Amino acid sequence: MTTENIKNLKDFVQNAIDKGANSVEDIHKKIAGLPLDFIAKIEPLHEQAEQVKELQENTIGSIYETIRLVNEKGGQYAEELLSKRPEKTES
C-alpha cells in the first residue's frame, strides 16, 4: 500500500468519525431535550426548563467537540508519521 493510499484511508476514516460524531450529537441533543421540552410547556417551569436545556445542549456539544478535536489531532499525528514513511510504489 502506498503512502498516498494510506493517507486517503486516513482521510476517509477521519471524515467518517467527524460525520458520525455530528449525527450522534444531533440525535443525543434531540433525545435529551425531549423531557425538557415537555416540562417547558408547564408555564411556571418554562424559563427554568429552557435554561437547563441550553446548558445541557452546550455540555453535549462540548463532549462531541472534544471527540472531533481528538479525531483531528489523531489525523495530524498520522500525517506526521506518514510524512516520515519512505514511499513505496505499488507492484
pLDDT score for 83: 86
- For 53-62, the CB contacts below 8 A with 24+ separation are 56/29, 56/32, 57/29, 57/32, 57/33, 60/25, 60/28, 60/29, 60/32, 61/25, 61/29
51 part of a folded domain: yes
26 part of a folded domain: yes
11 part of a folded domain: no
Domains identified in the chain, total number: 1
**36 touches 56 (CB < 8 A):** yes
- The domain containing residue 49 runs over which residues? 18-83
pLDDT tens for 4-57 read 888 999 999 999 999 999 999 999 999 999 999 999 999 999 999 999 999 999
pLDDT score for 9: 93
8 part of a folded domain: no
Whether the predicted pLDDT of 64 surpasses 80: yes
58 part of a folded domain: yes
For residue 32, what is the enclosing H or E element? helix 3-40
